[in-house]
Amino acid sequence: MTYQEMTREQLKKELKSLKNEYAAKKALGLSLDMSRGKPSAEQLDLSMGMLDVLSSSDNLVTRSGIDVRNYGQLAGIPEARALFADLMGIEPDEVFICGNSSLNMMYDTVSRGMVFGFPGGEKPWGKQKRLKFLCPAPGYDRHFAICEVFGIQMIPVPMTPEGPDMTLVESWVNNDETVKGIWCVPQYSNPEGITYSDETVRRFAKLKPAAGDFRIFWDNAYCVHHLTSEPAHLLNLMEECRKEGSEDMVIMFVSTSKISFSGAGVAAIGCSRTNMKALERVIAMQVISFDKMNQLRHVRFFKDIEGVKAHMEKHRALLQPRFEGVTNRLEQELGGQGIAQWTHPKGGYFISVDTMPGCAKRVVSLCAGAGVKLTDAGATFPYGRDPQDRNIRIAPSYPTLDELLQATGIFCLCVRLAAVEKLIETVRE
């Protein structure tokens, strides 16, 4: 019998039993964390060899003749630009290698939009009256935080299994010149693991923005982060844009934060030559040069895109059992009860769970009470407002498999408890 089929009396009985179970879990005094997409120590161990590729006896001048220890080469060493070009499916001179964080690059890109504007715009964003960004939701909380900081109005766009609702995207972008950007995680989206369909990517390339300074923020954070042996296929947006002559509309972001080291990786921007020129001019006022030594470290360790792919297989071997552990446990404990749905991602860092409407906040709070930390409910929506209060993002990468199963068990208990509480409210005597 599912909860939905129960009488009020039966629900009350179930509630009592779940509360007892919850009290017992709480008494264990656990401290488990499924809140952030953070690699485990075992994953970080995979890149330790990178610490040996540059030593005091090595030559630190690149094949291209650059002493990576000194100032210069603002856009990065050619070898690193070539590697990131392959990762992004673009040309090396369309790549700008920056510091260690793609989030920082995205923040800086919006910030530069405010101060300097973009080619095609009449004046800096900051001098324009209204600014809007489209925010496919659920999405990445830190993207939304950047918009909030700069006072950019966020317009939520529903996600479909093919990517954002493109009819809505087209209608906004092509008609409203105050729409300046859209946040996209096109492969293994955060949190749902959706990869944009070919049709979706083509429709992005064919956009005819009302604003000349509209930009697609293409955050390809999980471009090589597969969880199965059949990688999702993502059409190359830049190539599609070239066919349409719309390549100035795209700014791509990638980083090795979840390839090498989360604290000490390398991040890059990919964009058209027109955007690149503007970027070089303004970044030159911001910094003398980025850390080219770390760029060289990455190039010497991975060698090429094939090296990166082989490396990501090792990550997969560590991550896949964790994801499977969580989804199996969800199936065992919540399957067929009509009180939750969840994703089975083929890549990326998250499992997205939809509880019954109006239950997500309660579940997160109950979990916290029992020592299981989750991302705040609502965080996956602009302004932290999940209109149905039902989406919860689970990050399975960091805990050990044991901890993860324990945490997922508690999570399932809390989902059931919240569902029963909610049903009691609505079911008649």
Stretch that binds a copy of itself, among 8-16, 95-103, 168-176, 223-231 (CB under 8 A): 95-103
Among 289, 320, 328, 337, contact with a copy of itself (rule: CB under 8 A): 289
What crossing angle do the helices spanning 401-426 and 360-369 adopt, rounded to 10°? 130
Interacting stretch for a copy of itself, rule CB under 8 A, among 68-76, 156-164, 182-190, 409-417?
68-76
- Which position among 21, 67, 333, 403 is part of the footprint of a copy of itself (CB under 8 A)? 67
The reply on whether position 288 binds a copy of itself by CB under 8 A is yes
Residues 318-377 that bind a copy of itself (CB under 8 A): none
Q: List binders of a copy of itself among 200-239 (CB under 8 A).
A: none
Q: How far is the CB of 288 from a copy of itself (least distance, A)?
A: 6
Q: Binding a copy of itself by CB under 8 A: which of 62, 100, 246, 380? A: 100
Is 57 or 426 the residue whose CB approaches a copy of itself more closely?
57
41 binds a copy of itself (CB under 8 A): yes
- Is residue 300 near a copy of itself by the rule CB under 8 A? no
When the beta carbons of 109 and 195 are compared against a copy of itself, the nearer one is: 109
State in angstroms the smallest separation of the CB of 135 from a copy of itself. 16
Distance of alpha carbon 123 from alpha carbon 274, whole angstroms: 17
- Cα distances (Å, whole numbers) of residue 52 to 48, 77, 296: 8, 20, 12
**Binding residue for a copy of itself (CB under 8 A) from 15, 26, 33, 126?**
126
Q: Which is nearer to a copy of itself, 21 or 148 (CB)?
A: 148
Residue in 33, 165, 291, 324 binding a copy of itself, rule: CB under 8 A: 291
Which residue, 286 or 341, is less far from a copy of itself as judged by CB? 286
- Binding segment for a copy of itself (CB under 8 A), chosen from 138-146, 213-221, 364-372, 408-416, is 138-146
Choose the binding region for a copy of itself from 40-48, 152-160, 230-238, 335-343 (rule: CB under 8 A): 40-48
Q: Pick the binder of a copy of itself from 2, 286, 332, 400 (CB under 8 A).
A: 286
Does residue number 290 form part of the binding site for a copy of itself (CB under 8 A)? yes
**Residue with smaller CB distance to a copy of itself, 104 or 332:** 104
Query: Pick from 25, 62, 94, 101: which binds a copy of itself (CB under 8 A)?
Result: 101
Least separation in angstroms between residue 12's CB and a copy of itself is 44
**How far is Cα 296 from Cα 78, in angstroms, rounded to an integer?**
10
**Cβ-based neighbour number of residue 277 at 10 Å:** 11
d(CA 24, CA 19): 9
If DSSP states are collapsed to H, E and C, what string results for the chain? Answer: CCHHHCCHHHHHHHHHHHHHHHHHHHHCCCCEECCCCCCCHHHHHCCHHHHHCCCCCCCCECCCCCECCCCCCCCCCHHHHHHHHHHHCCCHHHEEECCCCHHHHHHHHHHHHHHCCCCCCCCCHHHCCCCEEEEEECCCHHHHHHHHHCCCEEEEEEEECCEECHHHHHHHHHHCCCEEEEEECCCCCCCCCCCCCHHHHHHHHCCCCCCCCCEEEEECCCCCCECCCCCCCCCCHHHHHHHHCCHHHEEEEEECCCCCCCCCCCEEEEECHHHHHHHHHHHCCCCCCCCHHHHHHHHHHHCCHHHHHHHHHHHHHHHHHHHHHHHHHHHHHHCCCCCEEECCCCECCCEEEEECCCCHHHHHHHHHHCCEECCCCCCCCHHHCCCCCCEEEECCCCCCHHHHHHHHHHHHHHHHHHHHHHHHHHCCC
Does the protein bind a copy of itself through residue 142 (CB under 8 A)? yes
CB of 37 to a copy of itself, least distance (A): 9
- One-letter amino acid of 191: P
C-alpha–C-alpha distance, residues 143 and 403, integer Å: 29
The answer to the question of residue 418 lying near a copy of itself (CB under 8 A) is: no
Is the Cβ of residue 55 or residue 229 nearer to a copy of itself in the bound state? Answer: 55
User: In this complex, which beta carbon is closest to a copy of itself, that of residue 64 or of residue 171?
Assistant: 64
CA 402 to chain centre: 25
400 binds a copy of itself per the rule CB under 8 A: no
What residues line the site for a copy of itself (CB under 8 A)? 36, 38-39, 41, 44, 47-49, 51-52, 54-56, 58, 67-72, 99-101, 103-104, 107, 111, 114-116, 126, 142, 145-146, 149-150, 257, 261-264, 282, 285-294
